[in-house]
Amino acid sequence: MSDQYHGMRFSIFALLFFLGHFLSAQQDSLPPQKEVDSIKVLQTDTLQVKQQDSTKKDSIKTRKLKPKGNLPQAKQVDSVSIKDYKIISYQRDTTYLDTTLTIYKEYKYNYLRRDDFELMPFANMGQQYNELGKDFSFMSYYPRIGAEAEHLGYFEKEDIPYYNVPTPMTELMFKTTMEQGQFLDALLTFNLSKKFNASVAYTGFRSLGKYRYEQAQDGKFRFTFNYETQNGRYGLRGHIAAQELEDEESGGLSDRSQFEGDDDDFQDRAKIDLLYTNAENRILGKRYFFDHRLKLVNHKKDSTDTDPTTLAIGHEFAYETKLYDFAQTTQNDALGEDPFLVPIEDRARLKTMFNKGSVEFSNKTLGKLSGNIALYNYNYYFNSLLITEEETIQNKLDGQEISVGGAYSNRIGPLFLKGNVNYTVSGELTGNNFDGMARYRINDNYAITGAINASSRMPNFNYLLYQSDYRNFNWQNNDTFENIRTKTIKFSFESKNYGLLEAQYSTLDNYTYFASTATQEQIANAQETAFVRPFQESGTVNHLKLKYTKELKWRKWALMNTVMYQNVTQDNQVLNLPELVTRNTLYFSSDVFKKAMFLQTGVTFKYFTAYNMNAYNPLLGEFYIQNNEELGGYPLLDVFINAKVRQTRIYLKAEHLNSIFSQPNYYSAPNYPYRDFVIRFGLVWNFFS
């Protein structure tokens, strides 16, 4: 326990560090600008179709940098606008800093900092999210360590942004949690020169929660850099990430009647009995990443040629160590009656090293064409070899994968094409994947997008091999499980007048999932989680998803609507999802106090139909299929008041307001209640030096 609050101490230190920077930059260096929006909002849960914010009020206008030295005034003045504060993704897509206050910002103001429409959070902030929707087109090429329920807040290499800013920029996000804790996400980015940028970011978080033994805390440090030579021929970028995510695990309710009944004593949720009181799990990861490219040919017609013919070679390197721990001081029947050892100390480790060499040719007419060869080394292991009378379970899976691939992109007038393919020539984990996308902009009001995806790879490592001090959680399937094969086709129609319609159809072969083999008697004795194991479905699973987004506006009022329909056809019930999910937000926006503040207030209604909601297993950090009961079919009502003063966005929300007068039948997973009514506030603050 000596290091239990190490993350929070580091968080406080980071806050003091950035506060010093804030105080030194209290002057608002970039005052309000003309009414244009400042960022392209990317859709992350379906088809990646760009959307525009409904309230177009950017807060920063062009300013002049102060003169330096004794240069003549005409050569000293430079102009800076919000568009000069650039954010570059792993895929090298560039957006710029957004300081607007819109309804999309309200949806993203959460622990994940992204729209959680297709997710159902647990009672405490920073805990797991149950899935209300699925997207099978974004699977990683290589299997991961597993414990997927614990990974939503983990920064993968694709999640780390890079920056290019003309002056130092700081962003601070603060939000209150459920009980005895705060959430702080702080970023400082600066250019040491016009061609070299660095950034430092830290996320510190702790929340005790309303229920006992459900404390959650994180500490996530990121450092990035990117550099380009003056002539643009050589570029280098990279990052270092160190992350630790910890959760106490209660196992859920021991007696549901305490939550669902009318006893006033249990309105204090800390008095409710839980299945166990001495368990926790943890994700710990460290990663070193860099990516550099050299242009062998950079043929420009003249100095104004922004898209010259180039031939470049590149190299990408990533080394990552990750471990997943589950610890319990004493045995509990809910996870097994006869463990090998007590206390329970399960630990899975994964070390990976990735190297990829590439060659890229780029031409304004022909587009970008690249080829690559990659080497992936992996070592997934435990510290023991398990030998029983029935079987011997090895302690590791290791090896290397060699793959080749290529990518192509081109813009031909209103048509944009993009695709990539990878094929494993040596190795046992992966087979291949193919992604293709075409986007056609008919005019300024209409755009059509189509995409296809096909992939083949083995399941995550915890499906293939697992060891635990609990006897039931030991298996080895790497010789019996086959590659998961997915095929997806997607389509979207985007219109300023009619909204955004998205359709996605996926077929899954060898779909892999966790399920419990417990009997009805064992389930009645609260032992369902003790018999969870991985399975692979022999039949084909088909998944259809339709999603429609449309905002209706009248004067200063707006109604934002998002509706999703899903249908699953399958021989066995192995993929459970709600048929309908809807979110509707009615809100009012206006300038107040002589335009010194921009105010946005409204109410959000979210609802999903009842279905066999997935259950949660704390030992594995995974959700598993259960077909014994339906949950859902209840509304979630949130009321918010948000405001913006210069570059500061202030958020105040009353969450799950209807729980005050509704029946306590709201669950995030079987035996895991959703949160009660709570009022929370916070802010996002940008400073420019």
Q: What is the DSSP string of 615-645?
A: EEETTTTEEEB--S--B---EEEEEEEEEEE
> Per-residue pLDDT for 592 more than 50?
yes
The answer to whether position 103 is within a domain reads yes
Helix (H) or strand (E) holding 237, with range, is: strand 234-249
Q: Which two tokens stand for residue 333?
A: 């029947």
**Whole-angstrom distance, CA of residue 486 vs CA of residue 497:** 34
The answer to whether position 264 is within a domain reads yes
Instruction: State the DSSP string of 637-654.
Output: EEEEEEEEETTEEEEEEE
The answer to whether position 484 is within a domain reads yes
539-549 pLDDT tens trace: 999 999 999 99
**Whole-angstrom distance, CA of residue 625 vs CA of residue 574:** 6
Show Cβ contacts of residue 204 under 8 Å, excluding neighbours closer than 6 positions. 7, 8, 10, 11, 12, 14, 15, 183, 184, 218, 219
The answer to whether position 324 is within a domain reads yes
pLDDT more than 70, % of the chain: 88
Q: What is the pTM of this model?
A: 0.88
207-255 pLDDT tens trace: 999 999 999 999 999 999 999 999 889 999 999 999 999 999 999 999 9
CA proximity to 274, closest of 213, 324, 332, 320 = 213
**Whole-angstrom distance, CA of residue 295 vs CA of residue 230:** 13
pLDDT at 13: 46
Specify the range with the lowest mean pLDDT, choosing from 21-25, 61-65, 171-175, 584-588. 21-25
Integer angstrom CA distances of residue 6 from 173, 180, 570, 639, 646: 20, 16, 47, 35, 34
pLDDT at 389: 78
> Per-residue pLDDT for 3 more than 70?
no
Contact 501, 493 (CB under 8 A): yes
pLDDT at 139: 86
**Whole-angstrom distance, CA of residue 112 vs CA of residue 360:** 34
pLDDT at 301: 64
pLDDT more than 90, % of the chain: 81
> Per-residue pLDDT for 8 more than 50?
no
Work out the pLDDT band at 83, boundaries 50, 70, 90.
confident
> Per-residue pLDDT for 187 more than 90?
yes
Question: Which residues constitute the domain of residue 584?
Answer: 6-688
**Whole-angstrom distance, CA of residue 37 vs CA of residue 591:** 16
Specify the range with the lowest mean pLDDT, choosing from 3-17, 94-108, 132-146, 323-337. 3-17
Strand partners, 653: 640, 680
pLDDT at 78: 57
pLDDT at 77: 41
CA proximity to 548, closest of 583, 514, 507 = 583
CA proximity to 382, closest of 320, 282, 465 = 465
Residue 303, Cα to own-chain centre: how many angstroms? 41
**Whole-angstrom distance, CA of residue 577 vs CA of residue 562:** 17
Contact 5, 181 (CB under 8 A): no
Long-range contacts at 150-156 (CB < 8 A, ≥ 24 apart): 150/245, 150/247, 150/281, 150/283, 150/324, 150/621, 151/283, 152/112, 152/119, 152/128, 153/111, 153/112, 153/126, 153/218, 153/220, 153/245, 154/243, 154/245, 154/283, 154/285, 155/220, 155/222, 155/241, 155/243
Work out the pLDDT band at 179, boundaries 50, 70, 90.
confident
- Angle CA 62–168–688, to nearest 5: 50
Rg (CA), the chain: 26
The answer to whether position 22 is within a domain reads yes
Integer angstrom CA distances of residue 220 from 19, 66, 127, 207, 337: 19, 36, 15, 15, 36
Please give the single-letter amino acid code of residue 256.
Answer: R
Please give the single-letter amino acid code of residue 357.
Answer: G
The answer to whether position 172 is within a domain reads yes
CATH number of the domain that residue 496 is part of: 2.40.170.20
3 state SS of 302 = coil
Work out the pLDDT band at 303, boundaries 50, 70, 90.
low
Q: Is 84 exposed, middle or buried (0-12, 13-18, 19+ CB in 10 A)?
A: middle
**Whole-angstrom distance, CA of residue 94 vs CA of residue 113:** 18
Better-predicted residue by pLDDT, 48 or 494: 494
Integer angstrom CA distances of residue 438 from 215, 316, 365: 45, 27, 17
| Cβ atoms < 10 Å from Cβ of 598 | 22
pLDDT at 600: 97
Number of domains forming the structure of the chain:
1
The answer to whether position 1 is within a domain reads no
> Per-residue pLDDT for 196 more than 50?
yes
> Per-residue pLDDT for 668 more than 90?
yes
> Per-residue pLDDT for 299 more than 80?
no
Q: How confident is the model over 625-636, as a mean pLDDT?
A: 95
The answer to whether position 146 is within a domain reads yes
Q: Is 606 exposed, middle or buried (0-12, 13-18, 19+ CB in 10 A)?
A: buried
346-383 pLDDT tens trace: 999 999 999 999 999 999 889 999 999 999 999 999 99
3 state SS of 464 = helix
Work out the pLDDT band at 305, boundaries 50, 70, 90.
low
Mean pLDDT, the chain, integer: 89
Please give the single-letter amino acid code of residue 678.
Answer: V
| Residue with tokens 């091999």, as numbered in its chain | 465
pLDDT at 74: 41
Work out the pLDDT band at 430, boundaries 50, 70, 90.
confident
Integer angstrom CA distances of residue 594 from 389, 462, 597, 599, 645: 80, 59, 8, 12, 12
Q: How confident is the model over 199-210, as a mean pLDDT?
A: 96
11-57 pLDDT tens trace: 444 444 444 444 344 334 443 343 333 333 333 333 333 444 433 44
pLDDT at 431: 87
Long-range contacts at 654-663 (CB < 8 A, ≥ 24 apart): 654/678, 654/679, 655/679, 655/680, 662/634, 662/635, 663/260
3 state SS of 169 = strand
pLDDT at 391: 83
| Cβ atoms < 10 Å from Cβ of 546 | 14
496-553 pLDDT tens trace: 999 999 999 999 999 999 999 999 999 999 999 999 999 999 999 999 999 999 999 9
pLDDT at 82: 85
